[in-house]
Chains A and B, each alone.
Chain A
């Protein structure tokens, strides 16, 4: 079974609008971390936001926020006020168990922002 599921292969949004990228995860470990990365066409992995399984509040970083619904095992990324530069591939990832173990990635969502 997939550990990280991203069901949207592609998403389209207009500049200045908000967009939600979906991510569900599967783990029986009570301690885990959820990450979102942006990968532009250059290939570099840009860290966006992190949510720990014990964090009470949803994580926010500037225009990025993570809608963490623990009971539903979902960790959707919300990008507010989209910009043309947001066009890229977005990956949801999970770290199970103790800190320092490998990240497991979802299949990614390609976001296209138009003017």
Chain B
């Protein structure tokens, strides 16, 4: 089945530093990837949609300069949290679409970011 590998699973960083999160589709080409953010006991909130070879589309209220998304190949999308602050601490999870299947959404295992 379709697998999306997300790394790291957990990261602790100091305030002011940047953190990069990677999502790789292992056995399929993901033309589109979605990045979500989830606070404890809350829903998944869509942050941005990334398409291979083009700029990401950010949801309203998401700072594009803070959350840099790069989708340089059909199997890799990265989210970089720049100049991280404690309020950026959250669970980040990616999702890749396999072609145009109606239900071809595969999720990464998520990254728990803690900014100290």
Contact = CB atoms under 8 A, between A and B. Distances in A.
Interface of A: 33, 35, 37, 42-45, 47, 50, 52, 89, 91, 95, 98-100, 102-108, 110
A4 to B, nearest CB: 9
Contacts of B67: none
Contact of A100 (B36, B46, B93, B97): B97
Contacts, number: 61
Q: Which 8 pairs between the two chains have the least Cβ-Cβ distance?
A: A45-B107, A43-B110, A50-B103, A105-B44, A99-B102, A100-B97, A107-B43, A105-B43
B100 A44 contact: no
23 contacts: A33-B102, A35-B105, A43-B109, A43-B110, A43-B112, A44-B110, A45-B44, A45-B93, A47-B105, A89-B41, A91-B43, A95-B102, A98-B100, A99-B101, A99-B102, A100-B97, A100-B99, A100-B100, A103-B34, A103-B46, A103-B95, A105-B45, A108-B43
A89 to B, nearest CB: 8
Interface in B70-116: 91, 93, 95, 97, 99-105, 107, 109-110, 112
Given A35-B105, A102-B34, A107 B95 contact: no
Interface residues of B, number: 26
B107 A52 contact: no
B48 to A, nearest CB: 9
A56 to B, nearest CB: 15
Contact of A52 (B31, B32, B102, B105): B102
A10 B112 CA distance: 24
Given A100-B97, A102-B49, A103-B95, 18 more contacts: A43-B93, A43-B110, A44-B109, A45-B93, A45-B95, A45-B107, A47-B105, A50-B103, A95-B102, A99-B101, A99-B104, A102-B46, A103-B34, A103-B105, A104-B46, A106-B43, A108-B43, A110-B41
